[in-house]
Structure 1
Amino acid sequence: MNPRPVTVGVDGTLSARQAARWAAVEAELLGAALEVVAVGDRDTAAVAAREGLTEARDAATVPMGATTRRGDPVEVLVEESAHSRLLVLGNRGLGALRGLLSGSVSGPVAARAHCPVAVVRGPERLRDERPVVLGVDGTPAGEGAIGYAFEAADRRAVPLIAVHVWRDELDDPEWASAFVDVDPTEQERELLSERLAGWSARFPDVDLTRVLDDDQPVRALVARSLQASLLVLGTRGRLRAPGRWGSVAGAVLHEAQCPVVVVRPTPVATG
């Protein structure tokens, strides 16, 4: 059993109940316990926590516990993420976690969390056998997302589709200059292969498909989510200030039709 639990934020809404069920199944796949967290006044949070536990127990059999907290939802959830393997949120919040996916809470949580953040979206399909889809941005900042996606596909015994959307990079002079006298498609194909090569060697049983897509990034990834069990994204490190919420990841979180996991880059120790 992994010592760090999967943590799910609940507020008594239908969305939170779906998130609790999904989180329980994910904890089972990860070999982790599940911690249900409700934020709000004592009575409201206690009811939400009990409902979350009931939903989770109906979905999977793993060690479970519940915590009620008072305070700002963003700060509480970020604190909880520090000792969690995965933080799971619902699609929308109407109670103590109101606005959870409106951007006012979900963006700051995903941008600051100390662990990957999953947002449960789309039709409920527990133990889904459709592929895992990975959005590859081609930068070292996305390495954590690549590893997470390979592990998720391996755990689920499903194919992995790695999608690299690169057309928007041509609007950036820094990148466009690199394509002088070079076929950008071929260069991006090589970049994608390089990013995935080591992970393919580590997970030889994962059926990997590489896809180059020159569509608009959000549209391309949302379209792929229609046929995915999970969509995994990194946060762009090259042009993002520390802690800033990426526009692509943020938009995909609101439009995807399957659960989305956002994996922040791992900080590099200095000293």
Structure 2
Amino acid sequence: MRRRTPDDLAYAASLTLAENWHSETLEEFEGFYSHAPAGCLVAERDGRAVAIGVATPYGDAGFLGQIVVAPEVRGQGVGSLVVNALLSCLQSQGVRSVYLNATAAGAPLYERHGFRMIQPSLRYAGKVRGASHAHVRSMRAGDLDRVCSLDRLWWGQDRGFFLNRRWGLYPDLCQVLEQDGAIAGYAMARRRGEKLWIGPWCAATHVAAPEALLEALAQPGVEVQVHAGVLASSARAIRALGCLGLAQSATAPWRMVWGHDAALGQQMEILANGTSAKG
């Protein structure tokens, strides 16, 4: 195992693309590397990269993600090597709660390392017709401090680096919802071709129709294809996505935890995650 270098980022993106993980792109790997390069790892055999993984720390909690083993070395213990190295990386930083999303095929590997299932992480997709709302507007640079403060309160840890980076890359896909003159919700998205990947999407519990934030991501009357990941416990998100007509995928990964479950990202205000590798 070794720490990833900038030269490894394209290889990492090629592995996730081969797995059809369309949300885990070179742009995402660049973000992880900028945030916590010590958690971006590569496994080598005979001087050749054969596996990748990312450990993202947030105070005393963290996420594992983007763990991919090249097909030619699967079943040879490489995956366990990567998981052990990622866990050690987070433990050395004082992390006590580690989360990840696992497919049905991958869950047994993580269970052998002490992870346990919490709940399904549902996937939704479909077309949303854009609409304007008087209480929803584009996010401005001056909003970021307040958005990050709300996110830290609702999500449970500070992920301001990723929120600021998302706004910097896609300012046209960041919206805030105001009530009584104060920000009460926000949604961010990123564009992949003609599709939008939603997240984070959050709103105070008194917001009656948080789906307005998603409708504001597109021009009024224009339909856009969107994808969103929500935890099964988020009844508000499921109801809102149903109002928009989005369909739930037949299969869903499992949110799993190692160590103490700090309920990271499980509050009612959290509607959609950013990505499975960083919450």
**Scaled by the length of structure 2, what TM-score is found?**
0.33
Indicate the structure with greater helix content.
1
Which one scores higher on RCO, CA 8 angstroms, separation ≥ 6? 2
Indicate the structure with greater strand content.
2
**Scaled by the length of structure 1, what TM-score is found?**
0.34
